[in-house]
Structure 1
Amino acid sequence: MGTEIKFRIATEKDLDYIVTLLADDDLGSKRENNDYPLPNSYIKAFEAITSDPNNELVVACDGNQVVGVQQITFTPYITYQGGWRATIEGVRTSASVRGKGVGTKLIKWAIQRAAERGCHLVQLTTDKKRSEALRFYERLGFIATHEGLKLKIQ
C-alpha cells in the first residue's frame, strides 16, 4: 500500500474493478461473471443501488486503485420503536492488500456511516464456508445472535 486508504461512493467507472474483487475467491468465481464488457445486469444493479438513497456502494482506494468494496443498505423497521439498521454486504478486498488492515478499515467506516445515519444496529451475513471471514467479523465485535436463512428462487 502506497498511500492512506480513502473511501468514497463508487462510480460506474469502478464497476469492472468491483466485479473483479467479487469474483476473486472460490465462492465468487462460481457466481460472478467478470468478462469484459460486463453483462448488462451489473450496470442495471449499479444504477438501482446508486439511485436509492438508502443504499451506498463504497470503494476503498489506495491512491487511484480500488482495493476494496462494500455495499451498505439502510433500512427502517417498525421494531425497535421505528429504528433504522444498516446491513453490510459484498465486502471484498484485493488480494494485494489482504492482511494489511483494509478490511478492518472498511467495516469500521461502515459502522461510522451507520451511526451518522442514525442506525441503532449494524448487521451482516457471511457464508458458512467463509470461516476466516466469520473470525474476522467476530474480532471486530460482531456476535452471531441470530440464525440466518435464505431461499434461492432461481
Structure 2
Amino acid sequence: MSEHPLGDGVVLRRAGADDVAAMVALLADDVLGAGRETADLAPYEAAFAAVDADPAHLLVVADDGGTVVGTLQLTFLPGLSRGGALRAQVEGVRVAAAVRGRGLGEAMLRWCADEARRRGATLVQLTTDKRRTDAHRFYERLGWVASHEGFKLEL
C-alpha cells in the first residue's frame, strides 16, 4: 500500500514492526483496552509478524510527521454467503485522544471502504463493544448500520 493522505499533514500507511509499541499504546489508551493490553511487547510483535505476512490482512497507521496517531486492521474474508462475496472486516480502530476531532477517524474509515471496494469486497463490517457508546454514535454518523447482534466466546 502506498501512503494515503488523510489531511492536516497526516498520512495513512502500512504499519511496520517498529510501529508495534505505538499501536499497542493506542489500543491500551482507553478504559477497556487498559484492562486487556499488557506491557510485554513480545506477543504483539509475534502477532504483527503473522498478520503482516498474510496478504488478506493489512495493519495501517495514521502517521503525523513521524508520530503514530491512529491505527486499524483491515482483513478480507472470502465466504460462500451473499453469493460468494468477499467482505472486509475492520478491527482495532483507534485514534489518539490528543488528535480526536480532526476528522482522522472518519478519513481512516472512508479509506477502509474505498480499499475494500478496490479489492472487490461487497460489504465492510466491524464490531464494537456495547460499552463504546461514543464510538457507536460516530459509526452511525458515518452511515454504518448496527444490523446484527454479535456474540463472542472467550477461550
Residues 35-68 of structure 1 deviation map (CA, whole Å, 9 limit, x = unaligned): 3xx4311111001100000000010111211100
Pairing 1:141–2:143 present: yes
Pairing 1:68–2:70 present: yes
Work out the CA distance in 1 between the residues paired with 2:29 and 2:127: 18
The match for 1:7 is: 12
| CA apart distance, 1:82 | 1.2
| CA apart distance, 1:3 | 4.1
Aligned residues: 149
The match for 2:109 is: 107
Q: CA RMSD in A?
A: 1.2
Pairing 1:16–2:21 present: yes
Query: How do 1:25-64 and structure 2 match up within 5 A?
Result: 25-33=30-38, 35=39, 38-64=40-66
Work out the CA distance in 2 between the residues paired with 1:60 and 1:39: 20
Instruction: Report runs of 4+ in structure 1 exceeding 6 Å deviation.
Output: none
| CA apart distance, 1:90 | 0.1
Mapped contact 1:57–1:69 kept (Cα < 8 A): yes
Amino acid at match of 1:98: R
Please list every run of 5 or more consecutive structure 1 residues that lacks an aligned counterpart in the other structure.
none
The secondary structure found in structure 2 opposite 1:145 is coil
Work out the CA distance in 2 between the residues paired with 1:144 and 1:110: 18
